Amino acid sequence: MAGDGARLDRLNARAAPDWDRFAHWRPWPARILLAVVAVLLALAALTPLTATMDGTPSTVPDFVATTAVEDTEVERDEDLAFYDRVIELIADGEGYYDFVVEEQRARNYPVRPGLAVRLPTLAHIHAWLGELGMIALAIVLLGATVWAWWKRLGEEAGGEKFRRIGAALMLMGGSLGLNRYYFVLHELWAGMLLALAFGLHRPGRWGWALFVAALALAIREHALPFVLLLGAMAAWRRDWKEASAWAALVAVFLVAMSWHLSLIAPQVLTTDRESPDWLVLRGLSGWLGNIVLSSNLRFLPHEVAGPLVLLMALGWAGWRSHAGTTGTLLYLGYGLAFMLAGRANNFYWGAVVAPAMFIGLAFLPMALTSLWRAASPSSGLPTAAR
């Protein structure tokens, strides 16, 4: 009987395509992962997601305009109003470093360490293009990102089968970028640019991905892990040319960030407010809260939205391809970072990776089915090639 089960296991593995990762797993690793997933899903459903420092559960972040009353202007969130002011001053000809520290100080915002002061890239772009220009840019960026993923899904092993649903999920994940209420939010643009860079990247063809990732990094330093990951994966493949290009981008970024901090440092006083610690070890609520509250998942009940974040990652893990491996490492890596660093009111950091993460749901049915069959190989017939 045991021999029959082993033979059926081998038949299942041979019948499944190479890009179906979990179909080729042995029973015990599959069973362990299933058990871990089940426990995490239960915990995710019970984890309160909050955008406030006092831990109050949140359904929609406080600054989101959930209702629109005719002839009534929705009150602007203080942080977003500050970015509005920065853009206005730049449009009036003011130099960014001539006023930004004083403006933050006047609002009792921290300016220590210097990283609490945003890079000026997005404010300059917004001041230059204006509101209508930013709307046009958001539409073009979303369209380019969906197109890039349509192309990549069609070219990657196994992606063609999931091309339509994957592109639709990319559209769903990126649609928040069309909401002009958030146009001043740095993470929104950095996240869409990283989704585009990810879609454009191919081993051996990485020039446009490098350029787009550089734009994301110039807007928000939280894009750096993406750059480091692609550089590390290029080095793993022994593609030294690509690895050197990503390393050069990191070096340029470090020089630019040093210059940014050097312009801020002379204006900072010892009496200035210091930013609270970012290393707060929020655990699972940090990962789930950041992704849910900074994406369109925020409109779902938390008992549903939290587990969906984990299932997105599982879907990516089930796709055995360069994109699937990159996505798995990328989203688990950022997930770990969010569990360790970032306060509850930094939830918007999740927008840096949320848009393309939705694509993982396209591969979820395959991943769950194959994982279940791998965990119990004697319970069914050999899997037909998909």
Q: What angle do CA 27, 31, 32 make, to 5 degrees?
A: 120
pLDDT at 276: 87
104 pLDDT higher than 70: yes
Per-residue pLDDT, 14: 58
Ramachandran angles phi, psi of 256, nearest 5°: -65, -40
Q: How many CB atoms lie within 10 A of CB 335?
A: 22
The per-residue pLDDT for range 161-194, each reduced to its tens digit, is: 999 999 999 999 999 999 999 999 999 999 999 9
pLDDT per position as a tens digit, 54-65:
445 554 444 444
pTM score over 0.85: yes
Residue 209 and residue 194: Cα distance in Å, rounded?
Answer: 9
230 pLDDT above the threshold of 50: yes
| 4 — pLDDT class (breaks 50, 70, 90) | low
Q: Would you state the pLDDT for residue 16?
A: 80
The residue behind tokens 């609490």 is 116
Quick one: 190 exposed, middle or buried, by C-beta within 10 A (0-12, 13-18, 19+)? buried
Task: Render pLDDT for 324-369 as a digit per residue (tens, 0 to 9).
Answer: 999 999 999 999 999 999 988 899 999 999 999 999 999 999 999 9
Confidence of residue 383 (pLDDT cuts 50, 70, 90): very low
What are 13-52's pLDDT values in tens digits?
557 889 999 999 999 999 999 999 999 999 999 998 877 6
Alpha-carbon distance of 208 to 231, in angstroms, equals: 15
pLDDT at 9: 52
Distance CA 276, CA 98 (A): 25
- The residues, any chain, with a CB within 8 Å of residue 319's CB and separated by 6 or more, are 19, 21, 158, 159, 327, 363, 366, 367
Helix, strand, coil fractions of the chain, as percent rounded to 5: 70, 0, 25
